[in-house]
Structure 1
Amino acid sequence: MWPRVKHWFWHWPSRLVLRYITILFFAGFFITNYFLWTSSQGWDVAEPNGPVTFGPKHPIKKLMVDARARHEALLAKRSYDLNDAAARYRARRGRHPPPGFDKWTEAALGSNAILVEDFFDRIYKDLTPFWALDSQTIAQRAASWHWVVRVRNGQATGQGNTTNRVPWLQLWTELVTEFSMHLPDVDMPINYMDEPRILVPFDEVAKLVEQERTNRRMPPVHEVVTGFKGLSQIDAMNPQLYEPHWFNRSDNYWDLTRVTCGPNAPSRNVEQISDFNTPVNYPSGWAPDYTYKGYIKNWTAAMDPCVQPHLREMHGSFVNPMSLSTTQELIPMFGGSKLPMNNEILIPGAMYLTVDEFYSGGENQRGPAWHRKKNGIVWRGVASGGKAKSYNWHRFHRHRLVQMLNGTTVNAMEHQDSKAQTFNFPDAEIYKNTRHTENRLGKWLKKFANAGFISRQCQVEPCEYLDPYYAEVDSMPMKDQYKYKFLPDADGNSFSARFRGFMRSSSTPLKATIYAEWHDDRLTPWVHFVPLDNSYQDLYSVLDYFTDDEVAGDTAARYIAERGKEWSEQVLRREDMRLYVWRLLLEWARVCDENRHNLGFIKDLIDPQR
């Protein structure tokens, strides 16, 4: 009987197909690992800004290998039980965990969260200066703000007038409601603007940070207070709204920003340019420390305007922001994104909490398998990022991205010696792009790129000054964008809010930004997404690497797409956003408690077997 069954198994058509699929799967797996993670011989790490060498020694390959090693080292710190999580907390934070840490850890482990203490570094960076302020003062100001997610007796409510406003307060309140029964009384005042609003000068923040460091302590067990005092005293006071001094549109945002940079930072003493009507002044001799042979190796520095004074004239947030209402006083305020030097307390952007397919692409939409995708890059959006006018539009980041992906423009630059308004060709000594050196980049982009504005958002209609360069195009749902292999993400008035959708798709996200978000510490560039410089000088060569070689480059792009999707489904879930805000509010409630220096969780120390 067995020979007949065996004969049937291998000759039945569906089994034959299955057999070949299995063979192809393992072949693809081994090819991927061969091209990405084999020999690194020949990489010239001693000359980080030298010319690029293509093929298997391309610097992107080294960056991917190094990034994978960092990511695996991070995962090695994962906690699997309460005792381990509490011990890692104390070692990294220099304090006992806050009361309620056991319930939080139980929820994290119960939801299969990847529990790595480093993933929460942003919370402590954001809260550190508030430890140096009077606890009752910040509690009063938090309670009396215009829009507040308020928790009392385990119930969360949204307080504030939201008439004709986006439903951010509702979305954040709904998230907090999911775990409010485990919270002490606490107030989360929120920023209802796109743009961040707090820019405290560097010297003042440095003093607050030093004061926090000096006062930080881990009291002995017998001195620890394990319960929050609550906010009944604050509520009885009925605190009045506190409004600091607000700078407005008559002020220069770059000059407010640069004083938050350290005294030796390149941008600290560089004033804003006086004439935006002039051509864009690209940085000369461009070889920043945050790159390796022209490609991003330090993502944190690549986002930081303090080390890139040229961004003052190359990003809409500094050229002419859409709105400006900024204070230099440290007040409590929570928001979805901020510049690295802003002092808001980060929470997941409200748009990440909506099921609106405009941002998410749909909960069940991830795009087709890699081999079925269009080999191309797509971008759709509005010409946001600030108020682009006739004399300054060529300095805006979204305008630069769209024009750089315009094959007609690039072709004219190659063959007719014309100039683009928003960009120059990258330095050929750093970026040896084969398509550009052969003057076929424009021709290739005509087929490869599909980028355009669905609205030019002209400040004065009609805007004939944009007519020669940008025609409005039809919108494209994100689920249709997922049919392309490459998805660039560009800042809007602040963050773009589409990045989570891009990460969860089956395409390769390319990201350039100056805005920090809650998830930055849990994503690894060159493993989960492709980092780009805010000048986009690396854009063409990045695309060249991933597309010129149909085996090595395409395999590398597919690896990032698939690893990013897989990882986002583990660390960017709603459950993960809930856990982040839950832990943040435990910490914030402690900062606002008059017993904050003695407040802590110590059950694991009293009962180690717990």
Structure 2
Amino acid sequence: MTTRPLLTRVTSDTPWIVPKQHRFSQRKWRPLLTLILLACCTIVILRVGLPPGLPSTTFTVSNSPLTSPPHPSTLTFSTHPITRMMEEARERFQAKVNRQSKTLPQAIEEYKFRYGMSPPTGFDDWWEFASTNDVILVDEFDTLMRDLAPFYALRGQKELGDYADADEDPTRLGSGLDRHGWALGGGSEMRRRIAEVASVASIDMVRIRNGRLSTISISKDGFVDDEVSARAKGLKSMLGVFAPKLPDIDFPVNAKAEGRVIVPWDRWEVAGQDGMNGDKIGRGMGNRSYIEDIAPHDTKDALHPLATFHPDWRGVGNVWDKWRRTCPPNSTARKSYSSLRSTLIDSMSPSHLAPSQKSGDSSVSSSFSFAPSNSFDSVSFCDQPHLHYTQGHFFSDWRTLDDLYPVLSPARAKGFGDIKIPSHYYYGSTQAYTYGWDKATQTVQPVDRGEVAWGDVTDNEGVDDRDLIIDPSYDGHNNTANPPRNRKTGKVSKQNKIFWRGATTGGGNSPAGFAALYQRHRAVRMADWDAEGDVELWVPHPIPHANTSSHPKAFRRLGPPHHLPNIDESLLTAHKIPVATLNKAFMDVAFVKAQNAKQYPGGLKKLTEDHRFSTSVSLGNHWQYKYLLDLDGMSYSGRFMSFLSSDSVPIKSTVYEEFFSEWIEPWLHYIPLSSSYEEIYNIFGYFSGIPAQVVEQIYGNAVNPATSAPFFPPGSKIPAIPGAPDGDARLQRIAQVGKDWKNTIGRKVDMESYVYRLALEWARLNAEDREAMTMKV
């Protein structure tokens, strides 16, 4: 408790009378004090009156606490943030692999240590399955357990006879827990909620009865879903290997890509003022426990809460208004809110501006700051609610569930309560989503027919795509005869470009008018070949000046080839370059299809004016590029696994967590990208330097001030400025390590292992006697 300081009296025979001199001083300062008070009141009114849900005039989408290194001018490639993060990622992942359990007893002890309880019945069979199939990360299921944890709090209703008072722990009467800490009646309550949620539109059921699988879809009152249970069928396939070993259970599966479950903050009991405690992830589950609504039903046949559920918003709400209620009451998102469109968004969105156009020194802080992981781990929409305008899932047309219902979905954004399962795109094989899919033989080949060799590693010379012969008819699918080839060496070589193609999906239209700010739209506008503004690229090479040699090779870093541990020690230098020049040199980003064009402000005409559109490409066409940009759509990106399978490098930006999120390591298996995308230019600069055509345009006419002679003699070829001495080799290494990960940890059998573990936990949660479904160890 803070003690207010006592007022000091004036020393006087009559202490309550202020001396005249002091009174004169008061009159002298009173106008100034009044002005100060008015100014403070104005500031408070403005701050309170400005809805936190709307961006201020300094709006930015740099929404993750990116690494904050020293000023780049003090760094070299050996101290570059990317160099450090790559090494830390390698050590972190290797340590994770090394600590995995080697025997069943070790796995049981690790499970008990992590989750504070014994494994479910059937854990030994799962271990046999995992061991037989060489599953590597046998202990890493924390995200799965976090997804399931809230359901351990379900206790059901005594009034319905789910359990008797005598079943309770006598030392904790009234707790609703048995002697072993399990929630009494929880299995019945779990099954009740599964039955209720199955009646919701776009929720399908995978059912196990007597060891046999089936998919069913309960009548949705005439609602037609055009996705036809694709995700439910995918889960059915994954469960097929071990369904005979499982009891009769039901799995409600989300037919939509978007998350469906949002539980408000007031339904959680937070342990401790800071929301943290030392509990394990098992019963009660860590720092938060779900508070069940214990109001009894009138009868067992009472109309359940979802019986009149409408599948879409119908103008009576939206995802963001529901989602922000998951935030703490004192958070910015809860203090005030507005869903009204702000003109500031279009005018100040960084997707329209290059970093150097923003106030202050943000050209350094944003374009030279690198995300250590994806935005799911770092972005806080509760603290920065204006950022929700940049993510389309907050504008989904599909209504969310406002209570804890068990729904299986392929991805989960922060604040949602869906339970993650592997995507059917990853598990199945299709021409659009599967690397190496041979339509003729209906098999997956180890090397896709459109795959292109990496080409010459250009550590010292930099990369010059002008040496490549490009056949525009090459599509990596029907026409694979003429991949890119170096005209000098004759070798096949990937193009040193950042490539992306996709449709204009990314969010719904509830409320309307925000499509321009969705993730894909922002990326396409930023990478436009006519974009305005400048970007600072930081690579260790001086800008031409009087003391620089006039020979073209002055732009080259000569010497013996560098190996991965050897990093150049030259200080980084800023090269201020028009963003349009960079985009033309190494960005190939475009839409191929205008979906829901009416949602875009101004309709199809404005959509096509604001964004680059190109022809559709096959999946195989992607493999001719070194960098593959991977962006969220309506939810997660279904192409990520295929990108990992290739010899190219995924640059992934996402706000979603997937089933494999704790199995994969950013900066080792792929390159993470913040939701602002602004650092992508310096990522390219680190690995690939500054392309020759950019150098030619920026420095081609440079002259020596001392002699007035051109820096580059007429007729000489202007070389590229290379990135890190081993940048291209490092980039190729990420591609190779990512491919190794896909072939050893991201296999179909690894997905089956995950689903098997999920099914065992699910069976225990659904059991009438959860203790009986617990392994005796």
TM-score (norm 1): 0.77
Task: From 77, 80, 91, give the equivalent of 1:55.
Answer: 77
CA distance in structure 2 between the aligned counterparts of 1:401 and 1:132, rounded to whole angstroms: 42
CA distance in structure 1 between the aligned counterparts of 2:536 and 2:323, rounded to whole angstroms: 28
* Distance apart, 1:467 and its partner CA: 3.1
Does the alignment pair 1:368 with 2:452?
Answer: yes
User: Which amino acid counterpart does residue 484 of structure 1 have in structure 2?
Assistant: Y
Contact 2:149 2:281 survives alignment (8 Å): no
User: Which amino acid counterpart does residue 100 of structure 1 have in structure 2?
Assistant: G
* Distance apart, 1:559 and its partner CA: 1.5
Which deviations, in whole Å up to 9, do the C-alpha atoms of 1:226-271 show, x marking residues without a partner? xxxxxxxxxxx99987617668253132232222134565645463
Which deviations, in whole Å up to 9, do the C-alpha atoms of 1:547-591 show, x marking residues without a partner? 111642212211211111101111111101111111111101111
Contact 2:537 2:577 survives alignment (8 Å): no
Does the alignment pair 1:501 with 2:642?
Answer: yes
Contact 2:227 2:256 survives alignment (8 Å): no
Does the alignment pair 1:152 with 2:209?
Answer: yes
Q: Which residue is equivalent to 1:107?
A: 129
Q: Which residue is equivalent to 2:323?
A: 257
**Alignment identity in percent?**
29
Does the alignment pair 1:140 with 2:203?
Answer: no
Q: Which residue is equivalent to 2:586?
A: 448
Name the structure where helix makes up a greater proportion of residues.
1
User: Which amino acid counterpart does residue 613 of structure 2 have in structure 1?
Assistant: E
CA distance in structure 1 between the aligned counterparts of 2:537 and 2:726, rounded to whole angstroms: 24
CA distance in structure 1 between the aligned counterparts of 2:278 and 2:227, rounded to whole angstroms: 37
* Distance apart, 1:476 and its partner CA: 1.2
1:488-567 correspondence runs (5 A): 488-548=629-689, 549=723, 551-567=725-741
CA distance in structure 2 between the aligned counterparts of 1:197 and 1:358, rounded to whole angstroms: 26
Contact 1:150 1:188 survives alignment (8 Å): yes
Does the alignment pair 1:378 with 2:499?
Answer: yes
CA distance in structure 2 between the aligned counterparts of 1:488 and 1:470, rounded to whole angstroms: 17
* Distance apart, 1:592 and its partner CA: 1.6
Contact 2:206 2:216 survives alignment (8 Å): yes
CA distance in structure 2 between the aligned counterparts of 1:413 and 1:48, rounded to whole angstroms: 23
* Distance apart, 1:506 and its partner CA: 1.3
* Structure 2 SS opposite 1:259: helix
CA distance in structure 2 between the aligned counterparts of 1:284 and 1:189, rounded to whole angstroms: 49
Q: Which residue is equivalent to 1:314?
A: 390
CA distance in structure 1 between the aligned counterparts of 2:425 and 2:592, rounded to whole angstroms: 20
Distance 1:240 1:357, change over 3 A: farther
Q: How many residues are aligned here? A: 519
CA distance in structure 1 between the aligned counterparts of 2:301 and 2:258, rounded to whole angstroms: 29
Contact 2:261 2:401 survives alignment (8 Å): yes
CA distance in structure 2 between the aligned counterparts of 1:176 and 1:355, rounded to whole angstroms: 17
Distance 1:554 1:211, change over 3 A: closer
Aligned-pair Cα RMSD in Å: 3.5
Contact 1:528 1:561 survives alignment (8 Å): yes
Task: From 294, 305, 321, give the equivalent of 2:381.
Answer: 305
1:595-606 correspondence runs (5 A): 595-597=769-771, 599-602=773-776, 605=777
CA distance in structure 2 between the aligned counterparts of 1:59 and 1:349, rounded to whole angstroms: 33
User: Which amino acid counterpart does residue 190 of structure 1 have in structure 2?
Assistant: V
User: Which amino acid counterpart does residue 679 of structure 2 have in structure 1?
Assistant: D
Q: Which residue is equivalent to 1:16?
A: none
CA distance in structure 2 between the aligned counterparts of 1:213 and 1:448, rounded to whole angstroms: 50
* Structure 2 SS opposite 1:197: coil
CA distance in structure 1 between the aligned counterparts of 2:750 and 2:360, rounded to whole angstroms: 42
* Structure 1 SS opposite 2:82: helix
Which deviations, in whole Å up to 9, do the C-alpha atoms of 1:163-198 show, x marking residues without a partner? 743422222212211210121221111111221111
1:304-453 correspondence runs (5 A): 304-306=380-382, 308-318=384-394, 320-321=395-396, 323-361=397-435, 362=437, 363-364=444-445, 365-366=447-448, 367-371=451-455, 372-387=493-508, 391-409=513-531, 412-414=532-534, 437-453=575-591
Q: Which residue is equivalent to 1:94?
A: 116
Contact 1:276 1:391 survives alignment (8 Å): no
Q: Which residue is equivalent to 1:295?
A: 370
Distance 1:182 1:436, change over 3 A: farther
User: Which amino acid counterpart does residue 655 of structure 2 have in structure 1?
Assistant: I
Q: Which residue is equivalent to 1:31?
A: none
Task: From 130, 133, 138, give the equivalent of 2:151.
Answer: 130
Bigger Cα displacement from structure 2, 59-68 vs 435-444:
435-444
Distance 1:426 1:386, change over 3 A: farther
* Distance apart, 1:309 and its partner CA: 3.1
CA distance in structure 2 between the aligned counterparts of 1:562 and 1:402, rounded to whole angstroms: 28
Distance 1:540 1:395, change over 3 A: same
Contact 1:276 1:392 survives alignment (8 Å): no
CA distance in structure 1 between the aligned counterparts of 2:421 and 2:597, rounded to whole angstroms: 31
User: Which amino acid counterpart does residue 422 of structure 2 have in structure 1?
Assistant: P
CA distance in structure 2 between the aligned counterparts of 1:266 and 1:562, rounded to whole angstroms: 43
* Structure 2 SS opposite 1:357: coil
Which deviations, in whole Å up to 9, do the C-alpha atoms of 1:281-339 show, x marking residues without a partner? 5598899xx99972112544235534543421222223x33x23112210111111121
Contact 1:150 1:157 survives alignment (8 Å): yes
* Distance apart, 1:353 and its partner CA: 2.2
Q: Which residue is equivalent to 2:255?
A: 192
Which deviations, in whole Å up to 9, do the C-alpha atoms of 1:356-396 show, x marking residues without a partner? 12112323345333222111111010011124799534312
Contact 2:234 2:428 survives alignment (8 Å): yes
Contact 2:371 2:672 survives alignment (8 Å): yes
Contact 1:280 1:394 survives alignment (8 Å): no
Q: Which residue is equivalent to 2:21?
A: none
* Structure 2 SS opposite 1:380: strand
Does the alignment pair 1:84 with 2:146?
Answer: no
* Structure 2 SS opposite 1:271: coil
Distance 1:260 1:444, change over 3 A: same
Contact 2:528 2:612 survives alignment (8 Å): no
CA distance in structure 1 between the aligned counterparts of 2:536 and 2:453, rounded to whole angstroms: 33
User: Which amino acid counterpart does residue 588 of structure 2 have in structure 1?
Assistant: N
Distance 1:240 1:553, change over 3 A: farther
User: Which amino acid counterpart does residue 48 of structure 1 have in structure 2?
Assistant: S
Does the alignment pair 1:173 with 2:239?
Answer: no
CA distance in structure 2 between the aligned counterparts of 1:514 and 1:374, rounded to whole angstroms: 28
User: Which amino acid counterpart does residue 154 of structure 2 have in structure 1?
Assistant: L
Contact 1:291 1:298 survives alignment (8 Å): no
* Distance apart, 1:104 and its partner CA: 0.4
Bigger Cα displacement from structure 2, 206-215 vs 343-352:
206-215
Which deviations, in whole Å up to 9, do the C-alpha atoms of 1:191-231 show, x marking residues without a partner? 1122111111124234599999699679xxxxxxxxxxxxx
Bigger Cα displacement from structure 2, 266-275 vs 84-93:
266-275
* Structure 2 SS opposite 1:50: coil
Distance 1:196 1:427, change over 3 A: farther
Contact 1:196 1:344 survives alignment (8 Å): yes
Bigger Cα displacement from structure 2, 136-145 vs 340-349:
136-145
TM-score (norm 2): 0.61
Distance 1:407 1:462, change over 3 A: closer
Unaligned runs of 5+ in 2: 1-66, 156-185, 219-223, 285-299, 351-357, 438-443, 456-492, 544-571, 690-722
Distance 1:163 1:196, change over 3 A: closer
Contact 2:116 2:280 survives alignment (8 Å): no
